[in-house]
Chain A
Amino acid sequence: MRLLIRLRARADAAYDNSHFHELRGRLWKGLRGTEYDDLHDADRPIGLSFSNIFPWGDIEEGDERTVLVAATDQDVLRAIAESVITDREFNVGQMPFHVEEVTTVAPDVGEPGTRGTLETGTGVLVRIPPQQADAYGIDTDGDEAIFWQPEHSLEPLKTQLENNLDKKHRLFCDDHLPGPSNRDGDLFDEYDLLKTFAVPVEVTQGVEMTYILSKWRFGYRVRDDHHRRHLNLALDAGIGERNALGLGFLNIQRDSKRPPGTPEASSASTDGGRR
């Protein structure tokens, strides 16, 4: 489930491409003092991800923008919603907004047999543990995790994404239900890499790191109810690492969903939330 927060610009502003730390700060403001405050420093996935402010582009006073916040726990969303409704000032760095409207949306990849495409609204962080570098034939000269890049091939990326989602499944789904690695088949049928890019990320106050991220379109066909749950979990919790920083936010590509028995969809366009 996710919140759709409609914003109205209170002043002209240049679009700040590296605003996700400030956006994260604004969203976390809603969790401060609640039972979810501890999640801020949790050393594990917390089941929260969010889009950038979209659409991208310089902002004029009165412009409408949107931000999406997804979570596995609707009580976390409730806390954030209460915060942005109670205090409608929504300032993200040098971009001042007012919260106009907050609604909930619940995207679903569809029942078994449904085909569709997920796309990353924000860059995906995948790191390969150094001890596994040899197994993938990756040269490494230290103990640091290796940021995935295209020359590493798809295999380590698929494995890391699945392992990461496994961890989220253990944290946020009922114990009796099998996680992605307990089931046959890949998460996605198609891995369409759009680009890789390096970006400075303020991981904690005053600590900045350069991450290598990638953007994707993932084609899927829902195999069964378990696969449906896994993909919907990725929509709620984000994919890859550091989702609470605003990385790995997923959307269902608009018009891409094709229920069983329906013909191929025509050209698809995005439903926003892209970084």
Chain B
Amino acid sequence: MTETVDNRSEIVFVTDAQDCNPNGNPLGENRPRKDPITDQAVVTDVRLKRYLRDQLHADGHGVFIKKTGDESEVRARLALDVLGDITDADEVAEIENVRDEFLDAATDVRYFGATLSFNADTDNDLLDAVADAFDGGNYTGPVQFSPARSLNAVEENEESNTLTSVIATQDDKSTGGFDLDDNRLKYAIFPFHGLVDENGASDTELTAADVKRLDTLCWRAMKNQTISRSKVGQEPRLYARVEYATDGYHVGDLHNGFDRDPDYSKPESELRNVTDFTLDVTKFVDRLASASDHVETVHVVGDEYLDMSYDGERYGTAADLADLLESQGVPTTTIDVYAEFEETLPAGE
């Protein structure tokens, strides 16, 4: 196993959603999650991690949490799936260190951890052997994302007669499989916050290569895993991973350094797409500038259509964030997503 990552990183990842439902609430008729007081939309960390896991899976990495079901037997089966071509209980017993093998194969567990609460008796010798081999326990994920609250108060499209209700009134054969979502936001922009805790990395054997993979994975996941059905309309707009040089140090809550710039943005009720919005990055840049002695480098990629402002003035687009940070004395590295990501694929490791 490669050595685990040494440096702490803090991630901000700005995405937006246009005319779509970025995160429906199944307990609320799948309507977009929203703070009823502030009208800010919310996307959970679970939703973001689902995209990342799906992209890992699409890239050919082993992924433990493939579905949201949490039955113990299912988990044992998923673990077995990750471990590879094993057909009987004896082969499970022959694995020297099942936890190492598992972590080596289950890329998502190295990032986000997992609960290994298997049912002890599944009436299936093979699954029971897997459960026994792990002997329970949890992996605490060293990569933690927080739910994102939109930088703007959102409005929903006005639709009432949903296709779901039409299907529900049919009395003959079911026509499942639809995902044409009626509950859509007109426009919302979300700043996610994440932390890569080097101290927790040893628990799941998270490597520096794993962390570097996040620099292209987040962007590609938001491009590739949202292209179908109700999730279409979401885009990555800005990704910055602040890699710190000082042990145990991070600025914290960097996502709070982003605001809607009211001087250069349309009013919230008129926001319809990214060109209506200007991201004020003043606090973000200034906080990093004041902590630049602790920063190894900021890995940055930005979108050419999200306008930025700094210190009350327009400053290009999110694609120019690296230049802005450099001008304030913060070391940066620009990410070229499509030139770099192939190195992070399984065959390239």
* A residues at B contact (CB < 8 Å): 1, 74, 77-78, 81-82, 85-86, 88, 100-106, 108, 111-113, 174-177, 224-225, 232, 260-261
Q: In the complex, which of the residues A1, A85, A175, A232 contacts B175, with contact meaning CB atoms closer than 8 Å?
A: A85
The interface residues of chain A lying within 8 Å CB-to-CB of B220 are 111
The interface residues of chain B lying within 8 Å CB-to-CB of A225 are 223
**Cβ of B224 < 8 Å from any Cβ of A?**
yes
Bound Cα distance A106, B273 (Å): 22
The interface residues of chain A lying within 8 Å CB-to-CB of B232 are 1, 106
Interface size on B (CB < 8 Å)? 30
Bound Cα distance A176, B347 (Å): 38
**Cβ of B228 < 8 Å from any Cβ of A?**
yes
Known contacts A81-B163, A82-B163, A86-B166; A101/B177 CB under 8 A: yes
* Residues 139-179 (chain B) with a chain A CB within 8 angstroms: 163, 166-167, 170, 172-173, 175-179
Bound Cα distance A176, B277 (Å): 13
Besides the known contacts A103-B178, A112-B338, A260-B342, 7 further A-B residue pairs in the complex with CB atoms under 8 A apart: A1-B229, A78-B163, A81-B163, A82-B166, A104-B229, A106-B229, A174-B275
Bound Cα distance A74, B231 (Å): 12
**Cβ of B305 < 8 Å from any Cβ of A?**
yes
A81 in contact with B342 (CB, 8 Å)? no
Identify the closest chain B residue to A174 (Cβ). B273
B177 in contact with A104 (CB, 8 Å)? yes
The interface residues of chain A lying within 8 Å CB-to-CB of B176 are 103
* Residues 229-251 (chain B) with a chain A CB within 8 angstroms: 229, 232
Identify the closest chain A residue to B20 (Cβ). A74
Interface mask (B244-279 → A, CB under 8 Å = 1, otherwise 0): 000000000000000000000000000001110000
13 A-B pairs within 8 Å (CB atoms) are namely: A1-B229, A77-B180, A78-B182, A81-B163, A81-B178, A82-B166, A85-B166, A100-B173, A102-B175, A102-B177, A111-B223, A174-B275, A176-B274
Chain A nearest CB, measured from B266 CB (Å): 14
Bound Cα distance A260, B345 (Å): 10
Q: In the complex, which of the residues B180, B273, B305, B338 contacts A74, with contact meaning CB atoms closer than 8 Å?
A: B180
Q: In the complex, which of the residues B177, B338, B347 contacts A103, with contact meaning CB atoms closer than 8 Å?
A: B177
**Cβ of B209 < 8 Å from any Cβ of A?**
no
**Cβ of B93 < 8 Å from any Cβ of A?**
no
Bound Cα distance A104, B163 (Å): 12
Chain A nearest CB, measured from B177 CB (Å): 4
Chain B nearest CB, measured from A9 CB (Å): 16
Bound Cα distance A108, B220 (Å): 14
- Enumerate the 5 nearest inter-chain pairs by beta-carbon distance, A residue then B residue, closest first: A106-B228, A103-B177, A261-B342, A112-B338, A108-B227
Identify the closest chain A residue to B273 (Cβ). A174
The interface residues of chain A lying within 8 Å CB-to-CB of B163 are 78, 81-82
Bound Cα distance A27, B90 (Å): 58
Bound Cα distance A232, B227 (Å): 10
Chain A nearest CB, measured from B168 CB (Å): 11
Known contacts A112-B338, A261-B342; A104/B170 CB under 8 A: no
**Cβ of B348 < 8 Å from any Cβ of A?**
yes
Q: In the complex, which of the residues A88, A102, A260 contacts B178, with contact meaning CB atoms closer than 8 Å?
A: A102
B348 in contact with A81 (CB, 8 Å)? no
Identify the closest chain B residue to A5 (Cβ). B175
Chain A nearest CB, measured from B317 CB (Å): 11
B167 in contact with A85 (CB, 8 Å)? yes
B348 in contact with A261 (CB, 8 Å)? yes
Identify the closest chain A residue to B346 (Cβ). A261
Chain B nearest CB, measured from A162 CB (Å): 23
Chain A nearest CB, measured from B348 CB (Å): 7
The interface residues of chain A lying within 8 Å CB-to-CB of B223 are 111, 225
The interface residues of chain A lying within 8 Å CB-to-CB of B338 are 111-113, 224, 260
The interface residues of chain B lying within 8 Å CB-to-CB of A111 are 220, 223-224, 338
Bound Cα distance A82, B159 (Å): 14
The interface residues of chain A lying within 8 Å CB-to-CB of B227 are 106, 108, 232
Interface mask (B308-349 → A, CB under 8 Å = 1, otherwise 0): 000000000000000000000000000000100110010110
Chain B nearest CB, measured from A61 CB (Å): 18
The interface residues of chain A lying within 8 Å CB-to-CB of B180 are 74, 77-78, 81, 104
Interface mask (B55-82 → A, CB under 8 Å = 1, otherwise 0): 0000000000000000000000000000
Identify the closest chain A residue to B59 (Cβ). A259
Bound Cα distance A1, B223 (Å): 16
Known contacts A85-B167, A261-B347; A176/B305 CB under 8 A: yes
Q: In the complex, which of the residues A78, A85, A260 contacts B170, with contact meaning CB atoms closer than 8 Å?
A: A85
The interface residues of chain B lying within 8 Å CB-to-CB of A101 are 173, 175, 177
Chain B nearest CB, measured from A85 CB (Å): 6
